């Protein structure tokens, strides 16, 4: 069979295939990046709190009874000695009258026995018993008179009523909370410190306080740190006193507290940026030419905010923050800040 006519066609097909353009290269993958140090530990270690009065007092009646009148509401500014609520005084008045009658009787008995003793009709011991009974009756009458005065609950200092815990018509026991009084004067920030961020934090530590309603940060100092964690939240209650005064600061405002020791802490990177290579921990460094290189780092600790890098990474270097298990050394990427 003659194949000569087919040979030119085969050559034409081969040369035509060689002339085709190669397929376009796959685009560089988009990688989310961050600058080490831009997400400083101060941003990760910020504590939310609220503005509270330094001195808060829970007020209650010293005797039990039924509340017949509440004289102040939440937010009312009160002065020392100002009446806040009243109990039904009827029972207390009856007790005071009974005590006064017993005192009158004891006083008459003691007077009669003094006369009898002067004429030697009774012994000295009998007179001593009546004198003792009179002293007891006097003390009981004074106590009943004081309790009658306790029917009116008064403010012991100037401040603002922060909370009302009882209403008119309610029967309360002695000492049961009725009001919470926020004393006028110094305000501070109440925050809760997690267990993982307690190390190195001591009273006196400098702090920066930012209030959402105010743009200017305020200087503060850690005044108090609870020695025991709250059994429910497992956090440590702390109070930050304010060194700067702000007339626009009101009780109950939300505030954010950052301590200076957190600003110089180890660099913190997201957990998604950590690449585990066998027994070594590494991160992907994104170079100036947008190529990635794997670098071993030393992790000081892991927390809710991320991993604290103790060595191997410098502030200002750019790293891959996500998708690290899909990268290859020397690969070119398109950084997404």
Same domain, yes or no: 240 and 197: yes
- CATH code, 124: 1.10.287.470
Instruction: Tell me what pLDDT residue 40 has.
Output: 43
Instruction: Tell me what pLDDT residue 262 has.
Output: 54
List pLDDT tens digits, range 52-63.
988 889 999 999
Written as six digits, the tokens of 195 are 């267990």
Of 48, 55, 321, 10, nearest to 210 by C-alpha is 48
Same domain, yes or no: 214 and 302: no
Same domain, yes or no: 329 and 285: yes
User: Structural domain tally of the chain?
Assistant: 4
- CATH code, 81: 2.40.50.100
Instruction: Tell me what pLDDT residue 8 has.
Output: 54
Instruction: Tell me what pLDDT residue 290 has.
Output: 87
Instruction: Tell me what pLDDT residue 226 has.
Output: 93
End residue of a domain, out of 244, 263, 282 = 263
Pairing of strands 30-35, 334-336: parallel
Instruction: Tell me what pLDDT residue 326 has.
Output: 85
Instruction: Tell me what pLDDT residue 200 has.
Output: 77
Q: In terms of residue numbers, what domain contains 323?
A: 30-41+266-336
Same domain, yes or no: 205 and 305: no
Same domain, yes or no: 221 and 309: no
Instruction: Tell me what pLDDT residue 28 has.
Output: 76
End residue of a domain, out of 263, 296, 326 = 263
Same domain, yes or no: 79 and 157: yes
Question: Is 5 within a domain?
Answer: no
CA atoms of 237 and 54, how far apart (whole Å): 14
Instruction: List Cβ neighbours of 188 (8 Å cut-off, separation of 6 or more).
Output: 51, 52, 53, 54, 220, 223, 239, 240, 241, 242
Could you give the C-alpha distances from 145 to 94, 150, 175, 301, in angstroms and in order? Answer: 10, 9, 18, 65
Same domain, yes or no: 168 and 250: no
Same domain, yes or no: 68 and 112: no
Same domain, yes or no: 218 and 293: no
H-assigned helices in the chain: 6-18, 41-44, 90-118, 124-149, 260-263
Length of the chain: 337
All residue ranges of the chain with pLDDT < 50 are 1, 3, 39-44, 263-264
The residue written with tokens 């180890």 in the block is 266
């Amino acid at each position: 069979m003659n194949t000569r006519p087919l040979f030119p066609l085969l050559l034409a097909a081969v040369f035509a295939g060689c002339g085709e353009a190669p397929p376009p290269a796959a685009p560089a993958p988009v990688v989310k990046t961050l600058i080490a140090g831009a997400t400083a530990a101060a941003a990760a270690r910020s504590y939310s709190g609220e503005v509270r009065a330094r001195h808060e007092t829970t007020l209650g009646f010293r005797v039990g009874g039924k509340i017949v009148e509440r004289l102040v509401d939440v937010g009312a500014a009160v002065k020392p000695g100002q009446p806040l609520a009243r109990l039904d005084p009827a029972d207390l008045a009856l007790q005071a009258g009974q005590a006064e009658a017993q005192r009158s009787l004891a006083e008459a008995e003691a007077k009669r026995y003094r006369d009898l003793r002067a004429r030697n009709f009774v012994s000295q011991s009998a007179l001593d018993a009546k004198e003792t009974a009179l002293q007891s009756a006097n003390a009981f009458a004074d106590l009943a008179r004081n309790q009658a005065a306790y029917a009116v609950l008064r403010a012991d200092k100037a401040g603002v009523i922060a909370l009302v815990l009882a209403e008119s018509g309610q029967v309360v026991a002695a000492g049961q909370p009725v009001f919470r009084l926020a004393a006028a004067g110094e305000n501070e920030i109440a925050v809760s410190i997690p267990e993982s961020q307690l190390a190195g934090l001591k009273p006196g530590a400098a702090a920066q306080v930012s209030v959402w309603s105010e743009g200017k940060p305020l200087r503060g100092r850690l005044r108090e740190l609870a020695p025991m964690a709250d059994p429910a939240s497992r956090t440590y209650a702390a109070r930050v006193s304010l060194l700067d005064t702000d007339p626009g600061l009101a009780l109950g405002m939300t505030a954010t507290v950052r301590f200076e020791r957190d600003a110089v802490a180890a660099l913190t990177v997201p957990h998604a940026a950590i690449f585990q290579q066998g027994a070594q921990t590494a991160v992907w460094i994104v170079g100036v030419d947008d190529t990635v290189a794997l670098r071993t780092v030393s992790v000081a600790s892991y927390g809710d905010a991320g991993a604290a890098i103790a060595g191997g990474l410098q502030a200002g270097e750019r790293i891959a923050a996500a998708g690290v298990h899909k990268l290859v050394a020397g690969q070119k990427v398109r950084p997404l800040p």
